[in-house]
Structure 1
Amino acid sequence: MDVVVVGAGIAGLSCARALADAGVRVRVVERGRVVGGRLASKRYDGRYADIGAAYLVADDPDFAAQVAGWQAAGLARPWTESFRVYPGGRDATGPVRWAAPGGLRSLAADLAAGLDVRLSTPLDAVPADADAVVLAMPGPQALRLAPPPGIATAGAAQTWHPVIVAVLRYPLREWDDLRGAFVNDHPVLATVCDDGDRRGDGAPVLVAHSTAELAARHLNSPEAAGPILAGAVGELLGLSAKPEVSVHRWTFAQPEPGEAPYAVDGRVWLCGDAFGRPRVQTAWLSGRSVAQALLG
Structure 2
Amino acid sequence: MIRTLRWTALALLFCILAACGGGGNPGTNKPPVASFTANPTVQAGIPLAFDGSASSDPDGEPLSFSWEFGDGVRGGAAKIAHIFTEAGTFKVRLTVGDGRGGTNSTEKTVTVTPGPAPSKTVSALALVTDPSGNALSGVSVSAAGGGNATTDASGRASVPGVGMGVPVTLKFSKTGFADQFKVLELPAAAESGYLEARLMPRESAQTLADAAKGGSLTGKQGAKITLPANALVDSGGKLVSGAVQVSLSPVDVGASPEAFPGRFAGVGPTGEQGIIPALRATEGWPRRGYR
TM-score scaled by length of structure 2: 0.29
The structure with more helix, counted as a fraction of residues: 1
Larger gyration radius, structure 1 or structure 2: 2
The structure with more strand, counted as a fraction of residues: 2
